[in-house]
A and B are shown apart, each in its own frame.
Chain A
């Protein structure tokens, strides 16, 4: 907890509220504790439901730190902010100039303003960075980490010049805070951040070679399992850019392209959020799959602009910080107005001596790269650990910097029903355009009761805060300075521009959504029977339903084998339990988890509303501590919720997704899965009819959601022929196999085709053949049982379907999607000297700093 001798953001030393905070504090007083708590809860809800925090509670294991937002923003006075802003602009210009010199003439090294070892001993410096031509300013988007000292001055604790994270969260914080505190925001005359993002978009668009009117800009994300993924998807969506991964990219003819269903499309500007050394396996790290092979060549050819430029990672090395004032004087003849936190590069003799003498007062970090690991804190080490550390510093002095722990200001935080004062760290963002440096008014603030957690990494800390730059007079509704495009836009329809990978994910999203719904329906129908008053032995359809559940992976197969079932735990217990079994590979939970994964991987393609529903479906499967969680009635309730929400999801898809190829793949997945599930179900329930089949027929109709249609046609008469007709042959029933096959046939025909040959593709032929089979079958013939009580024709048809539908699925993925998957094989560098072609190559290894706890 702050001790009181640091700068208080909200109150002056005499306890009076600072002018910038006055209006906020008086509004908070008006709200009272109950009002603030209410606002806090509202913010929590919005954060939970926002696309940027899409998570499946504990169902999907994700490494991403959950994002949290505190209710009370950090407020900074607009006039004082201008001073900080000027310092930040100056710093970006300085870092750009230093980077340009290091990757160019190296005057700073020649004049010994910077030690030459900052490059020559730097394992993170790939010489390729130096040979790339300069086609633009290298630093486009940058961030600066700040801490406020006791006397109110801001200190820089770190720079981010590669691809700073947090921009998306800063934006989301503002959007949510402004929804909850709309009046407050206006009343405080808070400077809006929207214009910063328009400047960013305008700038990125302007980087395209030949200034096309509508350039294709892509955000290259490290991938679904990266901590950046959610934020990248959010930014891509907000800025209207395509989010891509390494495997979506292909270099052809010296140009960078996006692999889409409709073919390759050139990319003009690549906003890369991957590390410099991973950007091109041909010329940099050969084992990287995050970049694009040949990317550097496309840069050399001037065919793509990359933001930030490859090599910009050098400008953020902590070892640069102590030399910034001298570099600024050398390059611009001016002192930087914004100081950096005391930093000592151990490669210098006197600095090293100082560090070794004052070890306990300092923290140590890698000198040449920004690490996500917490810094080394010698004051928390044992004597033995410390002597190890001293040895390491002496052996590899170049690799270490030491820093003073920053002093941090405190700011009010609403915590557990009362106001507390926590330490704050601020990350500011800048975009550097041809006209100058624009600073985001505000930034990403983090707070924690313990200042050390804030020092760990730029994402550590307990809570995020919105940061308000408050004016004493109303903010002008600024006229947008952005160039308006007057050229007519080329109208595009159909969405062949979609990355093939996205098509693949949507296909499997459709399949898992449908599969989940089938299982949920069958499970509900079974549980309703078990919950009824009939003895289990007397429910004649139960063994068939259990067999079907086992076929779907919801139950152990043993339950379906006569005689074995008795030895197992009773169905009353097993079935409700099975809903929550996270270990099971098949079944409902796995299906829904898969749905979440697939939706996640196309985060920028699925509407936020659809996400909320998917998230809600997952929430139904979170086991709470109530004792009745596995009570049959409670489970049936949950299943009701799941089925309703799954239907809401498909309704949303039907109503709000444009009929692009993406939608088509989603539908294809769904139709193939539904045809398959229905065939499986009928096969388990109807191929070997029991004597009085009515209860079985009824359960089939319930499970397939066709009971209403049946009743409206046949009232209470249960006839196998009529049931089979409705579920197999009836092309007007959206649940029938026939209907699925008709839809599959239609969707497959509408997919993009690059075949110039006459005739049908393999997938089209397979779809047409299955459709033909079902068309030719007659319901009377299908429902006829032979002398041994087997429905031979039905069995034949269903077997054909369950065998050939997976083949059709494979044929579709092979034709359109598979080239995005595992067949792309990088064989690494090939060395003609050795007789070992295809060996893994000799990519430079980035040595890790010694691991000190």
Chain B
């Protein structure tokens, strides 16, 4: 397996409005930026956002979670809006997660609640309920078989990842963007967003910090590997806190795997509500047609 991969990502969003929109105000969370963690790093070589029509106002800032946010408004009548983000990144694996020694899951939990872990303050932020994810006994019970006493946290989390993949049906008709986590859990079906929400709920319900990652998958698989589910669109997976040594490590319940160099992380948050790629308020417009296309092509640099 190669240890790094470079991609050219193109994410194009088109809105067509039935009637003219007078003003729209939007926030984008779809720009990659360089990140580094003990297991994985990503280097963003360039990223460009093109918005048509030309926005009246544009501003960039980093949000609370460190995501890059572009706010813009278009203040003239328009019937179409196109946002095209093109970027080039390199994802590098620094450690093979499968081979890592990790502490027992209870120890991770204990060192956070006692504050012995120097990163406890940041980690405990992802222990509690968030707007879209409410912890419950049901999630804890579902997680239990993967978390017997003393099991290393990465092994246990991978096991949970695989079980969700196995027990849940990928079905884009079963849920929509607003489906609650417990509803998707009851249906045992959904899309990447639901899979991620369910796994985060399970982990938090047994006291382990977990967060939501939005990003992309490579579109064409490497030779001999299956095409990943969720390519051609925005994807989502999870990140678990594996103790101070390895920090946050990502898993993809939709594809039953560790997220390494086939995954390109863009934003993190406590759940989907904090990372939605585009949110906006428009005045006018009537009914809206939306089309999204994502292409993630390997490049050599």
Q: A831-B278, A833-B193 are in contact. Are A120 and B125 (CB under 8 A)?
A: yes
**Which chain A residue lies CB-closest to B280?**
A830
Decide: A830 near B278, CB < 8 A? Known: A117-B128, A252-B75, A842-B177: yes
For residue B111, CB closer than 8 A to chain A, the reply is no
Verify if A845 is at the interface (C-beta below 8 Å from B). Answer: yes
- Which chain B positions have C-beta within 8 A of A286? 279, 281
Q: Are A127 and B128 within 8 A (Cβ)?
A: no
Whose C-beta in chain A lies nearest to the C-beta of B69? A131
In whole angstroms, how far apart are the Cα atoms of A832 and B12 in the complex?
A: 10
What B residues does A835 contact at CB under 8 A?
290
What residue in chain B is nearest A396 (Cβ atoms)? Answer: B129
Inter-subunit contact B288/A282 (CB<8 Å) = no
Chain B residues closer than 8 Å to A130, beta-carbon distance: 64
Instruction: Name the B residues within 8 Å of A110 (CB-CB).
Output: 121
Selected from A123, A131, A281, A832, the residue in CB contact (under 8 A) with B278 is A832
Report the Cα distance A252→B73, complex, angstroms: 8
- Asked whether B273 lies within 8 Å of A826 as measured between CB atoms, the reply is no
Residues of B with C-beta under 8 A to A836: 176-177
Using known A-B contacts A839-B178, A842-B272, determine if residue A127 contacts B64 with beta carbons closer than 8 Å: yes
CB nearest to B58 among chain A residues: A254
Chain A min CB distance to B218 (Å): 18
Size category, B interface: 35 or more
CA distance A820 to B86 in the complex (A): 39
Determine if B277 and A839 form an interchain contact, defined as CB atoms under 8 angstroms apart.
Answer: no
User: For residue A121, which residues in chain B have a CB less than 8 angstroms away from its CB?
Assistant: 128-129
Mark out the residues of chain B between 5 and 21 whose CB falls within 8 Å of any chain A CB in the assembled complex.
13, 15
Cβ of A759 within 8 Å of any chain B Cβ, yes or no, is no
Cβ A827 vs Cβ B285 within 8 A: yes
Closest-by-CB residue of A relative to B115 is A112
Say if the beta carbon of B99 comes within 8 Å of chain A: no
Question: Are A837 and B15 CB-contacts (below 8 A) given A120-B128, A293-B281, A842-B273?
Answer: yes
In Å, the complex CA distance between A109 and B75 comes to 42
Smallest beta-carbon distance A103→chain B, Å? 10
**Contact between A840 and B178 (Cβ–Cβ < 8 Å)?**
yes
Contact flags (1/0) for A733-772 with B, using CB distance below 8 Å? 0000000000000000000000000000000000000000
Within B113-141, the residues touching A (CB, 8 Å) are 115, 120-121, 124-125, 127-129, 131-132
CB distance A120 to B57 under 8 Å?
no
A825 close to B (CB within 8 Å): yes
User: Most chain-A CB neighbours within 10 Å: which of B289, B290, B292?
Assistant: B290
Q: Which of A297, A825, A826, A829 contacts B279 (CB 8 A)?
A: A829
B residues in contact with A826, CB < 8 Å: 281-283
A297 x B281 contact (CB < 8 A): no
Q: Which residue, B56, B115, B283, B284, has most C-beta atoms of chain A within 10 A?
A: B283
Contact B292 A832 (CB under 8 A): yes
A residues less than 8 Å from B131 (CB atoms):
842-845
Q: Is the interface of A mostly helix, strand, loop or mixed?
A: loop
In the assembled complex, B2 has its CB within 8 A of some CB on chain A: no
On whether the beta carbons of B177 and A294 are closer than 8 Å, the reply is no
How distant is the Cα of A253 from the Cα of B62 in the complex, in angstroms?
20
Residue-by-residue, is A263-307 near B (CB-CB < 8 Å gives 1, otherwise 0)? 000000000000000000111001000000110010011000000
Q: Is B80 an interface residue (CB 8 A)?
A: no
**For the complex, is A23 an interface residue (Cβ under 8 Å from B)?**
no
Is there an interface contact between A300 and B61, defined as CB atoms closer than 8 Å? Answer: yes
CB-CB contacts below 8 Å: A119-138 with B: 119-121, 123, 127-128, 130-131
Known contacts A127-B64, A251-B73; is A833 also within 8 Å of B25 by CB?
no
Closest A residue to B279 using CB positions: A829
Q: Is A106 an interface residue, CB under 8 A from the partner?
A: yes
Distance to closest chain A CB from B33 (angstroms):
15
Chain B CB within 8 A of A841 CB: yes
0/1 string, B159-179, CB within 8 A of A gives 1: 000000000000000001110
Q: Do B125 and A131 have beta carbons less than 8 Å apart? A: no
B244 contact set on A, CB distance < 8 A: none
For residues 254 through 286 of chain B, which have their beta carbon under 8 Å from a beta carbon of chain A?
272-274, 276-285
Give min CB distance, B74 to chain A, whole Å: 11
Residue of A nearest to B11 (CB): A832
In the complex the two chains form, is A282's CB within 8 Å of B280's CB?
A: yes
Report Cα–Cα, A823/B283, bound state, in Å.
Answer: 8
Smallest CB gap from A121: residue in B? B128
Establish whether residues B65 and A127, one from each chain, have CB atoms under 8 Å apart when the complex forms: yes
- Tell me the nearest residue of chain A to B276, going by C-beta: A831
A283 to B28, CA, bound (A): 11
Q: Does B106 contact A (CB under 8 A)?
A: no
* With contact pairs A837-B15, A845-B131 given, residues A109 and B121 touching in the complex (Cβ less than 8 Å): yes
- Contact in complex: B15, A830 (CB < 8 Å): yes
Within 8 A of B (CB), among A494-543: none
Residues from 783 to 839 in A contacting B, C-beta threshold 8 Å: 823-839
The distance from the CB of B195 to the nearest CB of chain A, in whole angstroms, is: 13
**A771 to B212 Cα, complex, angstroms:** 68
Check A17 for interface membership: any CB of B closer than 8 A: no
Residue of B nearest to A130 (CB): B64
Q: Which of A120, A127, A281, A838 contacts B288 (CB 8 A)?
A: A838
* CA gap between A44 and B13 in the complex, in Å: 64
Whether A834 lies near B176 (C-beta < 8 A) is: yes
- Which B residues are in CB contact (< 8 Å) with A843? 131, 273
Name which residue of chain A comes closest to B292, CB basis: A832
Q: Which of A127, A297, A823, A845 contacts B59 (CB 8 A)?
A: A297
In the bound assembly, the distance between CA atoms of A837 and B272 in angstroms comes to 16
Partner of A127, one of B15, B63, B277, B283: B63
Docked pose: A758 CA to B127 CA in angstroms: 66
Minimum distance in angstroms from B39 CB to a CB of chain A:
25
Contact of B27 among A127, A131, A283 (CB under 8 A): A283
Q: Is there an interface contact between B59 and A844, defined as CB atoms closer than 8 Å?
A: no
Q: Is A116 an interface residue (CB 8 A)?
A: yes
Contact B279 A841 (CB under 8 A): yes
Alpha-carbon distance A119/B279, docked complex (angstroms): 25
> Which A-chain residue is minimally distant from B12 (CB atoms)?
A832
Asked if B281 contacts A251 (CB within 8 A), the reply is: no
A275 to B175 Cα, complex, angstroms: 32
The reply on B234 being an interface residue by CB < 8 A is yes
- Chain A residues contacting B26 (CB-CB under 8 Å) are 282
Picked from A128, A131, A250, A829, the residue with its CB within 8 Å of the CB of B276 is A829
The answer to whether A838 touches B287 (Cβ under 8 A) is yes
Determine if B281 and A837 form an interchain contact, defined as CB atoms under 8 angstroms apart: no
Within the complex, the shortest CB–CB distance from B269 to chain A, in Å, comes to 8
On whether the beta carbons of A254 and B281 are closer than 8 Å, the reply is no
Is B146 interfacial (CB 8 A cutoff)? no
A528 to B274, CA, bound (A): 70
Q: State in angstroms the CA–CA spacing of A638 and B23 once bound together.
A: 52
- Contact assessment for A834 and B287 in the assembled complex, using a CB-CB cutoff below 8 Å: no
Set of chain B residues within 8 Å of A119, measured between Cβ atoms: 125
Question: Shortest Cβ distance from A59 into chain B, in angstroms?
Answer: 36
The contact string, 1 if C-beta is below 8 Å from chain B, for chain A 296-326, is 0100110000000000000000000000000
**Interchain nearest-CB distance for B15 vs A (Å):** 7
**B13 partner, pick from A117, A293, A832, beta carbons under 8 A:** A832
- Which residues of B sit under 8 angstroms from A250, Cβ to Cβ? 23
Is A123 a contact partner of B65 (Cβ separation < 8 A)?
A: no
Interface-central residue, A120, A830, A840, A845, by most chain B CB under 10 Å: A830
B292 A844 Cβ-Cβ under 8 A: no
* B71 CB–A CB distance under 8 Å: yes
Kindly state the separation between the CA atoms of A500 and B290 in the bound complex, as whole angstroms: 34
Taken together as a complex, chains A and B put the C-alpha atoms of A279 and B61 apart, in Å, by 19
22 contacts between A and B (CB under 8 A): A110-B121, A119-B125, A128-B63, A282-B280, A286-B279, A294-B71, A294-B73, A830-B15, A830-B278, A831-B276, A831-B277, A831-B279, A832-B13, A832-B277, A832-B278, A832-B290, A833-B193, A833-B233, A833-B292, A837-B15, A838-B287, A839-B178
Q: Could you list 9 further interchain pairs (A-B, Cβ under 8 angstroms) beyond the known A829-B281, A838-B288?
A: A116-B120, A116-B124, A297-B25, A824-B283, A830-B288, A833-B233, A839-B176, A841-B178, A841-B279
10 tightest A-B contacts by CB?
A844-B131, A834-B177, A127-B64, A837-B288, A829-B279, A837-B290, A842-B273, A831-B177, A121-B128, A131-B64
